[in-house]
Amino acid sequence: MTPEGTHGPEAVTLTMNPTIDLCWEVERLEAIGKNRARVRSVAVGGGGINVARHIARFGGRAIAVHTAGGEVGLRLNRLLDEEGVDHVAVDIAEDTREALVLFETGSRRSYHVVPSGPQLNEGEGERCLEVLERFLGGCPFVVASGSLPGGLRDDYYAAVARRVREAGARLILDTSGPALPAALAEGVFLFRCNRTEAESLVGRPVNSFDDARALNEHLLTTGAAEIAVTTLGALGALCSTSQGHTELYVPPLPGEPLSDAGAGDSMVAALATRLAAGDDPVGACALGVASAAAAMLTPSTESFDVDVARALLPQVRTVSRA
């Protein structure tokens, strides 16, 4: 509930398959003998939870709806409470997953080991939709981000899209896998994809702005999305609307890139925050590119520095195309 006299959240996020990310540091991984490690961090992860966390760090407010099961789920809830993330958990029978991030301090490389997660049943999936619906009346944006766990129908995010639209809210979708085509067939407000997800949709490599433009135009003309954002790694991102296409170039980084694990969630959080504030899609996407760049300067899945993102924003070069 929103306290009297305060504004509601900019977004409610949905995370069907969250994780607890255990980040360990080692000097160098060795095949023989023991690898002595130091615990670097223990934090809750998962697309929608990360987005809600970053929206709050931008000064906004978001509510994270997520699943939680077993002893790991209890720990997940406790960690979110301690962090101060506004969240609502939906109980499930199986244990929430744990993921391992190994950071080699010598090479400064990160290795992410992520299990598939629990199996959900139809009733658990329906309860998540019911909890989500409780917040749709006073919330302009819904962010559905991350993979679907096993056991749910491939059209689950399509059902989310229908309920969001019927409630008069707008859906920002960032997912991959079998659930993606059905959701796009239903239509969403904004769809963000990386090159891997883009390639799965078109069946060929997506390496350039021209490649991204072909995909984005298809998404717009078929009604799959009103705004399409395709990211192209170190090159940047293409933001497309009915008004045209804008190429956004990654600014020069002030340090060595360490990991791209949190880049996508950082971008989506910036998009949701600025769109909720009334920015145009290109302006919102520019902050998204700057935030993704800032995220690459952090190891493992650690949160990016908001001040670094804001400092990089003026250096995001944009080129508009008809």
In sequence order, the 6+-apart residues with CB closer than 8 A to the CB of 83 are: 43, 44, 53
User: pLDDT by residue (tens digit) across 251-267?
Assistant: 998 888 877 778 999 99
Domain-by-domain residue ranges, the chain?
11-15+45-62+119-321
CA distance 124 to 131: 11
Q: Which of 41, 53, 117 is nearest to 268 (CA)?
A: 53
Q: Residue 115, SS3?
A: coil
Q: Which of 277-281, 304-308, 310-314 has the lowest mean pLDDT?
A: 304-308
Enter the pTM of the model: 0.93
User: 11-15+45-62+119-321 has which fold?
Assistant: UDP-N-acetylmuramoyl-L-alanine:D-glutamate ligase (3.40.1190)
Contact by Cβ (8 Å): 299, 110: yes
Among residues 260, 265, 279, 305, the one annotated as catalytic is: 265
Say what the pLDDT of residue 5 is.
Answer: 35
SS3 content of the chain, % helix, strand, coil (to 5): 35, 30, 35
CA distance 301 to 284: 23
CA distance 96 to 75: 10
Q: Is 260 considered catalytic here?
A: no
Say what the pLDDT of residue 7 is.
Answer: 53
CA distance 232 to 258: 17
The residues facing 236 across adjacent strands are 249
Say what the pLDDT of residue 109 is.
Answer: 85
Rounded to an integer, the average pLDDT of 149-177 is 96
Say what the pLDDT of residue 8 is.
Answer: 67
Residue 295 to residues 11, 61, 84, 219, 298, Cα–Cα distance (Å): 21, 20, 21, 27, 6
pLDDT above 50: residue 6:
no
User: pLDDT by residue (tens digit) across 263-279?
Assistant: 999 999 999 999 999 99
Share of the chain above pLDDT 90, in %: 84
Q: In whole angstroms, what separates CA 115 from the centre of its chain?
A: 18
pLDDT above 90: residue 134:
yes
- The residue to which tokens 């969630």 are assigned: 265
